[in-house]
Amino acid sequence: MPNSSRAHEPAQQASIKRLRLALGTFVAVEAVSATPELAAAALEAAYAAIEEVSRRMRPGTAGSDLARINEAPMLSPVHVHSSVIELLSLARELNVLTDGVFDPCLPTKPGRLRDIELSDRAVVCHAPVALDFGGFAKGYAVDRATDALMNAGCTAGLVNAGGDLRVFGEQSSPVRVRGRSGSLRRVELNDAALAVSDPESSQRPPEHQGYYIRDREATLATGQIAVMAGEACLADALTKCVLLCPQEVAARALDVFGAERLADQ
């Protein structure tokens, strides 16, 4: 007779990890699936999703959606991918919640988020803009890579893009976040995302400049900001809200999205 105890044992899973350069940083992806072949295929799908976001949302890349918006004549409709509309819609919501502080338009041109008109698949600018998604596109890419892992049948996985991290499935991932005093706080992530922003870091990508150069003399918060949320894009964007907004305004934005700031130690 077959051993009945083995019938109730969980099926063994294959776990594969890779580290590649993307989004201006090193991106680590872990895929857990039924077989090594399925896990490997899921990894490739995740990195492909990241590259797709990067191609569309880098303002300095000729032909990208953001480059075409920034270069378009005023009042001329620019047809873009639905993901760009999605992020602009999120930016609008955050812009309202933060009394206009969160704005993905660089101050190098006069236009602001309020000058961009949205439709289902097109944008129209009513003033010259220098649109830059550096403050939350990396988190969005992490989410799309996570979606790719899930769609490929992974039971668990992790995507870590230099400060923007998302974990899903039955496994949890321990993360150490450095506080202002230099001490490390251990955080267990389980079906959650974490984003860390530090405007004083010499290693931050140049794409982040739009959220640290504002129409004010100085930001209201200093040092490393860490936020946990359900999605990496939200966590990434909300670190900028915490960084730039008065405390009560940042708390309002965090509350609306069910996110949590990790207090400095």
Coil, strand or helix at 86 = helix
Would residue 149 count as lying in a domain? no
Would residue 247 count as lying in a domain? no
Would residue 146 count as lying in a domain? no
Where in the sequence is the domain holding 104, given as residue range(s)? 57-125
pLDDT reported for residue 9: 47
Nearest Cα neighbor of 130 from 108, 146, 148 is 108
pLDDT surpasses 50 at 6: no
pLDDT reported for residue 218: 46
Burial class (CB in 10 A: 0-12, 13-18, 19+), 2: exposed
Would residue 89 count as lying in a domain? yes
Mean pLDDT of all residues in 74-86: 96
Would residue 67 count as lying in a domain? yes
E strands, 75-149, in order = 78-79, 116-118, 122-125
Nearest Cα neighbor of 239 from 143, 102, 133 is 102
Would residue 74 count as lying in a domain? yes
How many domains does the chain contain in total? 1
Q: How far apart are CA 219 and CA 212, in angstroms?
A: 7
Would residue 206 count as lying in a domain? no
Q: How far apart are CA 93 and CA 97, in angstroms?
A: 6
For 106-126, the pLDDT digits (tens) are 988 999 999 999 998 899 999
For 179-189, the pLDDT digits (tens) are 666 667 777 88
- Per DSSP, the residues of 20-69 read EEETTEEEEEEEEESSHHHHHHHHHHHHHHHHHHHHHH-TTSTTSHHHHH
Instruction: Output the six-digit token pair for 64.
Output: 């990208």
Mean pLDDT of all residues in 167-196: 79
Would residue 204 count as lying in a domain? no
